[in-house]
Structure 1
Amino acid sequence: MKVESGPAPRVQAWLAVARCVGRSCVMLARRQVHLPKDNVGRVLRFADGSTSRVYRETAVERQAVEPCVLVVAFTLRWVRGRAHRLFEAESILNTPLFVGFPGYVSKLWCAHDTFGAYRGLYEWDGAERAHRYAAALWRVLELVSVPGSISYKVLPGLRRDEVVANPARMQGLPQSDHAWWRLLTQP
């Protein structure tokens, strides 16, 4: 997979993550973070030939004014076999690392795909905010990911739920890198 852009400088990234965790704690205390079940269990098919099951959805009480879809992919180091299920269960603890970032709207958590990569399929309010988040997230992911496996793609003007319901909305977008990020219609 090729990267749309790289990581943020370490100090900048970790300060952004720290601010996010603080905001996330307030949001969690106010019960502004929700775990909808509508997409859980859905199998997504991607243009690189992989499929992945949605195992969790996280949303906040915000509507995107400038919607964009963010797709993040990474391969975990040291996680094999049954450990994937353990990771899925414990990953709820990672929620404070993203829900407090400015512009966050929702995320579909996608289990390891047929090639071993995990994906997050987000809706964000503002493409620049999505880029800043993904660049900061990179620094968290590089601690636990196979080197070279982190990628992200920001798709401005799209809403996540519309793309999941109708992947053809992604047609006409650049198709580089085997379009690892592009959803396909289910057969």
Structure 2
Amino acid sequence: MTVESGPAPRAQAWLAVARCVAASCAMLVRRQVHLPKHNVGRVLRFADGSTARVYRETAVDRRPAEPCVLVVAFTLRLVRGRAHRLFEAESLMNTPLFVGFPGFVSKLWCAHDTFGAYRGLYEWDGPERARKYAAALWRVLELVSVPGSISYKVLPGLRRDEVLANPAAMPAAAQADHAWWRLLNPN
């Protein structure tokens, strides 16, 4: 089963983001946030026909008891050409907006794909925690994204590295669904 929904109420979302930033600062001071290089440069293929390059990986010291994968997609407003590289560099500053959310395990940051959308491929501890994060993140992303371009999908019971190694582990999408979130095997 997959889970997706819309944004959290604004006040609830911004309170969650504020709590996250406080927790993130403590985690950064304790050096619990890491930037592994293993997946950087990897090209991911998605069932909608797009491909995206992983430009950063972020992970924390946590093993999920209830693993799930979260895929988030959005298209930035006003970012074209070389500005994409500037966004990739600047986006490191956004780390405190997510690592302190309860249940965060890891994130692959995907550069804008062949259709212009950015994606985050996360591992989370708990599908409900992942959904709450994505619903709060929506309120941050709507400030900089093309209206109607924000989407997320929560895939319970999956580990990120499992779906990277074997994309067939992800649920099959309906035949008519272009499954923007579903990974395909590399060429």
TM-score range, shorter chain: over 0.9
Mapping for residues 168-179 of structure 1, pairs under 5 Å: 168-172=168-172, 177-179=177-179
Q: Residue by residue, what CA displacement relative to the aligned partner does 1:33-87 show, whole Å, maximum 9, x if unpaired? A: 0000000000000000000000000000000110000000000000000000000
TM value normalised by structure 2: 0.96
* Structure 2 CA distance for aligned equivalents of residues 117 and 110 of structure 1: 9
SS at match of 2:108: strand
Q: In 2 relative to 1, CA 155–174 (structure 1 residues): closer, same or farther, beyond 3 Å?
A: farther
Q: In 2 relative to 1, CA 176–105 (structure 1 residues): closer, same or farther, beyond 3 Å?
A: farther
Shift of 1:165: 1.2
Q: Which runs of 5+ in 1 are unaligned?
A: none
* Structure 1 CA distance for aligned equivalents of residues 63 and 125 of structure 2: 8
* Structure 1 CA distance for aligned equivalents of residues 41 and 125 of structure 2: 25
| RMSD of equivalent CA atoms | 1.3
Counterpart amino acid of residue 184 in structure 2: L
- Determine if the alignment matches structure 1 residue 84 to structure 2 residue 84: yes
Counterpart amino acid of residue 102 in structure 2: P
2:147 aligned residue:
147
- Determine if the alignment matches structure 1 residue 61 to structure 2 residue 53: no
* Structure 1 CA distance for aligned equivalents of residues 161 and 108 of structure 2: 10
Shift of 1:166: 1.0
Q: Which runs of 4+ in 1 moved over 4 A?
A: 173-176
1:9 aligned residue:
9
* Structure 1 CA distance for aligned equivalents of residues 152 and 163 of structure 2: 17
Counterpart amino acid of residue 92 in structure 1: L
Q: Which runs of 5+ in 2 are unaligned?
A: none
SS at match of 1:72: strand
* Structure 2 CA distance for aligned equivalents of residues 154 and 55 of structure 1: 22
2:103 aligned residue:
103
